[in-house]
Amino acid sequence: MDERAAQFFLSVGKLCGDARIGGLVVRLALTGGEEIVGVPEPPPETEGPEELDGIGYADSVTIAGVAVALSDVVEASIAYPDRRPGR
């Protein structure tokens, strides 16, 4: 994995951890076209064989009770609470 890809996954992991603290909703788009939306759990921090390319996180993230591979994420976003269109 190149440095830019590793930085992307590290940033997604940090986003999920920070969003969890504030109870903020995150939307993850996955390689297969699926979207997962909800309050995330922070990705498990780890070292060793379960670690995703030395970024300090396991290749796993859970959003609204749905576990997916962090390496399957192609886009991540966060919404300002209660200011989404239609609210």
Count of structural domains, the chain: 1
Confirm if 32 and 72 have CB atoms less than 8 A apart. Answer: yes
**Domain residues for 65?**
3-78
Residue 22: give its domain's CATH number: 2.30.30
Any domain includes 85: no
CA atoms within 13 A on the CB side of 32: 5
Any domain includes 15: yes
- CA separation for the pair 22, 73 (Å, rounded): 21
Q: Tens digits of per-residue pLDDT, 28-80?
A: 999 999 999 999 998 888 888 888 888 888 999 999 999 999 999 999 999 88
**So what's the pLDDT on residue 63?**
94
Any domain includes 7: yes
**So what's the pLDDT on residue 61?**
93
